[in-house]
Amino acid sequence: MKYLILITCCLLAFHSLSAKVTTIKGENGISLQQVINDAAAGDSIILEGGRFQIASTITISKPLFLIGKNSPVIDGGNKYEIMVISSDFVIIQGLHFLNSGKSGYEDIAALRILNSGNILIRDNYFENCFFGIYGQHAHNTTIANNRFKANGFDEISSANGIHCWKSDHMLILNNRISGHRDGIYFEFVTESTIRGNISTNNVRYGLHFMFSHNNWYLGNSFTDNGAGVAVMYSKGVHMHNNLFARNWGNAAYGILMKDISDSRVENNIFSQNTASIYMEGSNRITIRHNQFKNNGWAVKIQASCTDNIINENNFSGNTFDIATNGSLQLNNFTGNYWDKYEGYDLDRDGKGDIPFRPVSIFSMIVERNPATLMLFRSFMVGLMDKAEKVFPGITPEALKDDTPFIRPLAFNPPAL
């Protein structure tokens, strides 16, 4: 928000000094590029509806307000990158970007931010574009209230909704993204906030980032994506109040965390995912106050993860609560609520008196040999689970919750 105010103040300052307002309507024969070239730095161009068919990429290389009224269409004709911003202090508002080019070897975007910052992009509609917004060395930029809709059907013919590369201090607010390859994609993006976005029905991931440290993800909703959310090789990731739901399928995850460290995952809801959290090589992550409901696996934690703290979460209705692939266990699982807990609480302190072992032998077997899922819920598997609960042999001895809660914990529901 502070960037937004800063930018607005700066631009207002320009405006009151010398800026001019040009109003045009999209008709045949009007070249938007010509209008932009004619404008001085700090001018406003108001597009009054209509349609601008572009003949080449529009470049904005000076501070400018580009404001659409009645959603003027800027049509890339399935050929061109529609707009490139290579100047600081630009506002793009209320435009309808349609049909950018598509390419197998070039990253064609509807709107590219090139080596610049202090830009505000809001209330736009990106329809049937390859990349939506592509931030390349962008900084201090706000992307807010945009809608992205594409019709991607495979990973090759589609690209990402919001794509940022080597950017910092980005603020990505309240966007809705669907039908792209990855809803939001970050590579080398730091110190950014991603809040209130809805990323749904994308071909691959709702959110995907790599090497992106110290970012905050607040109140987003990642649902019905082909493979859920994948986050890799990052540290200082904060995920709070998000919703991860219905990420369903063979290799779909609520969140896949690979080599993530020193991060916090709190107050999120994970519902109906095949595996709601999958952790590999991840260290020192705090997972607290989350709700895991009706997932296939609530947490799949590989033996390569250490010093993670998983406490005060609610696990209910999951087929398997915890699965792991080794016998060494260096994580902390104390003080959660498990609906499969069958213990008692004699001293009435709300915590069970006997430890709970969330890993069932069948989940260990399935981890080793996935084909055995065919025997799920058979009589024999039930007997094996019961026997293992009494005398743990194969399941990791140390993976247990010594003080499981008897009743579900009450949290404030995430504000979305």
Partner 1 sequence: MNKIIKYVILDILKNRIVIGYALLLLCMSLSVFNMETDTSKGLLSLLNVILIIVPLVSIIFSTIYIYNASEFIELLVSQPLKRKNIWLSLVAGLGLSLSLAFIGGCVLPILIYNGNGTGIMIASMGIILTVIFVAIAALSAVYTRDKAKGIGVSILLWLFFTLLYDGLVMFLLFQFMDYPVEKGLVAVSMLNPVDLSRIMILLKLDISALMGVTSAVFKSFFGQSWGMILSISVMLLWVIVPLSLSVKKFKIKNL
Question: Which of 113, 96, 230, 115 is closest to 162 using CA atoms?
Answer: 113
State the residues that interact with partner 1 by CB under 8 A: 248-250, 252, 272-274, 294-297, 317, 319-320, 365-366, 368-383
Q: Which is nearer to partner 1, 236 or 408 (CB)?
A: 408
Q: Which is nearer to partner 1, 5 or 380 (CB)?
A: 380
187 secondary structure, DSSP code:
E
Q: How far is the CB of 318 from partner 1 (least distance, A)?
A: 9
Q: Which is nearer to partner 1, 86 or 294 (CB)?
A: 294
Q: How far is the CB of 206 from partner 1 (least distance, A)?
A: 17
Q: How far is the CB of 204 from partner 1 (least distance, A)?
A: 17
SS3 content of the chain, % helix, strand, coil (to 5): 10, 40, 45
Q: How far is the CB of 242 from partner 1 (least distance, A)?
A: 19
What whole-number distance in Å separates Cα of residue 15 and Cα of residue 45?
12
The DSSP bridge partners found for residue 258 are 232, 280
> Cα–chain-centroid distance for residue 324?
25
Q: How far is the CB of 273 from partner 1 (least distance, A)?
A: 7
What whole-number distance in Å separates Cα of residue 228 and Cα of residue 201?
10
Q: Which is nearer to partner 1, 18 or 372 (CB)?
A: 372
Cβ 133 vs Cβ 109: under 8 Å? yes
Q: Which residue has the tokens 């669907």?
A: 178
What whole-number distance in Å separates Cα of residue 402 and Cα of residue 391?
17
Q: Which is nearer to partner 1, 41 or 373 (CB)?
A: 373
Q: How far is the CB of 248 from partner 1 (least distance, A)?
A: 6
Q: Which is nearer to partner 1, 36 or 245 (CB)?
A: 245
What whole-number distance in Å separates Cα of residue 265 and Cα of residue 312?
12
> Cα–chain-centroid distance for residue 23?
37
